[in-house]
């Protein structure tokens, strides 16, 4: 491993792209067992070089604290021995997933006699731009290698030393099993100009995947000539139907689900933002609000729900229009009373696209919700926090796509591939 030297000349983004394209040609035809061996080498490298990685990470944490970065952001970038072991275990989990590359549909013979099928292949070269969390460096490296894609990684400037150290480990691991180390490359120059150069490298990069806040996504969409797969941002709603509040047991279940949705990881993109409560279920609101307040959640309530909370002596701020349609990424949630499922569906249609939940004991209501809500994930009687690659059985994820073209929802191995047609003939020509 080599320490990051800010004074050293930086490799140009075009050179990274050229190297990635060449490495991608090697990866795309690798047998599964060689990709698995590479992931095992990466996991072993993380364990063998944990001291160097943690030293580099400590530099980032120290700089972040000195710069006044909020405590929550510092916590997101901090690594320790336990976190590194979890990252290594996640790499091994990806190595055990089914390899989608090479899957072929059954051949169909056409009237001309040609036999046609489709075969699943890697996208090619991925540019992934992300913020704060250094574990993303390894997650994307593992998913890229296992799906046969070369990747160019650009993390946030607050994790520059951590990402450089992790990139060195990955590169050495790939070389140790005879694969090109340039299959996974980390941009080490924090200048924003490098991001712009990557976004416009359309002759060498096949897709850009931003992973971060709305500002990062908008910047990529507005500046890229490379196709951008947008995801990870969006408002999460939970609709509480009155049928889920008829028993004390159901109310307690609703309290637990809503608490998990908001509190378990408030900075996550699949954490609850807006609680939509059926007017006929308002009697359950004080119990829900009391539990959320006990866990430090600030509530922003519409007039009707605030009246209920005021009567119960529970704190809430008056909701503004902007509080509906806002992704809070913090211990804040908005509350809106709706007359029925129809009003809830209309509200979600106007504000949602990420993850939306219904709590209901009415099968007809839940089926209508599932059918009508047009979001990346629809959840019935469970927490929205399950909209996650690992929780859905996909292993690690690059991002959660909220667009509709190519991939939607958690992007794991299959979502990092595409298909090509294979046509086999015996001398046929088209008349």
User: Mean pLDDT over all residues of the chain?
Assistant: 93
Residue 153 near residue 49 (C-beta atoms within 8 A): no
Strands (E), 170-329: 184-186, 207-211, 235-240, 274-278, 298-301, 317-318
Is the pLDDT confidence value at 346 over 60? yes
Task: Single out the residue of 338, 236, 323 nearest to residue 282, CA to CA.
Answer: 338
How far, in Å, CA of 254 to CA of 264, rounded?
A: 15
- Position 103 scores a pLDDT of 96
- Position 211 scores a pLDDT of 87
Is the pLDDT confidence value at 119 over 60? yes
Domain 235-386 in the same topology as domain 13-229+411-423: no
CATH class of 13-229+411-423: alpha beta
Residue 205 sits at φ, ψ, to 5 deg, of -110, 135
Beta-carbon contacts of residue 337 (< 8 Å; ≥ 6 apart): 276, 277, 278, 279, 282, 302, 304, 305
> Poorest-confidence range of 48-62, 86-100, 276-290, 382-396?
382-396
Q: How is 94-143 classified by DSSP, letter by letter?
A: HHTS---TT-BPPPEE-TTS-EEEEEEEE--EEEEEE-S-THHHHHHHHH
**pLDDT band of 199, cuts 50, 70, 90:** very high
Q: What is the mean pLDDT of residues 139-148?
A: 96
- Position 7 scores a pLDDT of 45
- List b or e across 26-44, with b for residues whose CB sees 16 or more CB atoms inside 10 angstroms: bbbebeeeebbbbbbbbbb
Q: Among 3.40.309.10, 3.90.1150.10, 1.10.490.10, 1.20.120.140, name the CATH number for the domain at 235-386.
A: 3.40.309.10
Is the pLDDT confidence value at 395 over 80? no
Beta-carbon contacts of residue 55 (< 8 Å; ≥ 6 apart): 165
Q: What is the mean pLDDT of residues 214-230?
A: 90
**pLDDT band of 1, cuts 50, 70, 90:** low
Task: Single out the residue of 309, 307, 278 nearest to residue 293, CA to CA.
Answer: 309
**pLDDT band of 133, cuts 50, 70, 90:** confident
Domain segments of the chain as ranges: 13-229+411-423, 235-386
* Tokens at 71, concatenated: 């405590």
Q: What is the mean pLDDT of residues 249-261?
A: 98
Task: Single out the residue of 317, 278, 321 nearest to residue 297, CA to CA.
Answer: 317
Is the pLDDT confidence value at 220 over 70? yes
- Position 10 scores a pLDDT of 67
Treating both helix axes as pointing N-terminal to C-terminal, what angle do 160-176 and 32-48 enclose, rounded to 10 degrees?
130
How far, in Å, CA of 302 to CA of 323, rounded?
A: 10
More confident site: 405 or 157: 157
* Tokens at 327, concatenated: 């992704």
Q: What is the mean pLDDT of residues 207-233?
A: 88
- Position 311 scores a pLDDT of 96
Is the pLDDT confidence value at 320 over 60? yes
Instruction: Report the percent of the chain where pLDDT is more than 70.
Output: 97
- Position 151 scores a pLDDT of 98
- Position 9 scores a pLDDT of 53
Is the pLDDT confidence value at 2 over 70? no
Q: What is the mean pLDDT of residues 311-337?
A: 95
**pLDDT band of 8, cuts 50, 70, 90:** very low
* Tokens at 127, concatenated: 């540019």
**pLDDT band of 404, cuts 50, 70, 90:** confident
Is the pLDDT confidence value at 277 over 90? yes
List pLDDT tens digits, range 257-273.
Answer: 999 999 999 988 899 99
How far, in Å, CA of 89 to CA of 87, rounded?
A: 5
* Tokens at 354, concatenated: 């990420």
List pLDDT tens digits, range 20-32.
Answer: 999 999 999 999 9
Beta pairing class for 115-122 and 108-109: antiparallel
List pLDDT tens digits, range 84-117.
Answer: 999 999 999 999 999 999 999 999 999 999 999 9
Residue 299 near residue 292 (C-beta atoms within 8 A): yes
């Amino acid at each position: 491993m080599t320490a990051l030297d800010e004074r050293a000349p930086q490799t140009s983004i075009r050179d990274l792209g050229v190297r990635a394209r060449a490495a991608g040609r090697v990866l795309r035809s690798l047998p599964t067992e060689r990709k698995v061996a590479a992931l095992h080498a990466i996991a072993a490298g993380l364990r063998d070089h944990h001291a160097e990685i943690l030293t580099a990470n400590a530099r980032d944490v120290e700089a972040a604290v000195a710069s006044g970065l909020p405590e929550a952001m510092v916590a997101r970038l901090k690594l320790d021995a336990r976190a590194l072991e979890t990252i290594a275990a996640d790499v091994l989990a990806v190595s055990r997933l089914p390899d989608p590359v090479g899957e072929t549909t059954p051949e169909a013979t056409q009237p001309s006699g040609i036999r046609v099928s489709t075969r699943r292949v890697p996208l090619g070269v991925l540019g992934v731009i992300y913020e704060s969390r250094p574990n993303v460096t390894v997650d994307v490296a593992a998913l890229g290698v296992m799906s046969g894609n070369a990747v160019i990684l650009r993390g946030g400037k607050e994790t520059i030393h951590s990402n450089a150290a992790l990139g060195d480990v990955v590169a050495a691991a790939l070389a140790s099993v005879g694969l090109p180390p340039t299959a996974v490359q980390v941009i080490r120059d924090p200048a924003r100009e490098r991001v712009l150069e990557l976004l416009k490298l359309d002759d060498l990069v096949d897709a850009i995947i931003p992973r971060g806040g709305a500002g990062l996504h908008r910047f990529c969409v507005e500046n890229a000539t490379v196709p951008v797969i947008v995801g990870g941002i969006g408002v999460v709603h939970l609709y509480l139907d009155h049928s889920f509040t008829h028993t004390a047991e159901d109310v307690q279940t609703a309290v637990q689900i809503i608490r998990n949705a908001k509190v378990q990881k408030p900075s996550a993109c699949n954490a609850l933002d807006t609680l939509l409560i059926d007017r006929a279920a308002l009697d359950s609101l004080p119990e829900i609000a009391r539990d959320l307040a006990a866990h430090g959640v600030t509530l922003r309530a519409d007039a009707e729900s605030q009246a209920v909370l005021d009567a119960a002596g529970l704190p809430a701020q008056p909701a503004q229009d902007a509080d509906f349609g806002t992704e809070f990424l913090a211990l804040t949630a908005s509350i809106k009373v709706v007359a029925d499922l129809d009003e809830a569906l209309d509200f979600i249609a106007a504000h949602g696209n990420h993850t939306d939940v219904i709590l209901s004991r009415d099968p007809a209501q839940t089926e209508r919700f599932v059918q009508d809500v047009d979001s990346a994930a629809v959840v019935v009687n469970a927490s929205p926090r399950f909209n996650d690659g690992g929780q859905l059985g996909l292993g690690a994820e690059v991002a959660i796509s909220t667009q509709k073209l190519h991939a939607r929802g958690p992007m794991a191995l299959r979502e990092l591939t595409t298909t090509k047609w294979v046509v086999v003939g015996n001398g046929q020509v088209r008349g």
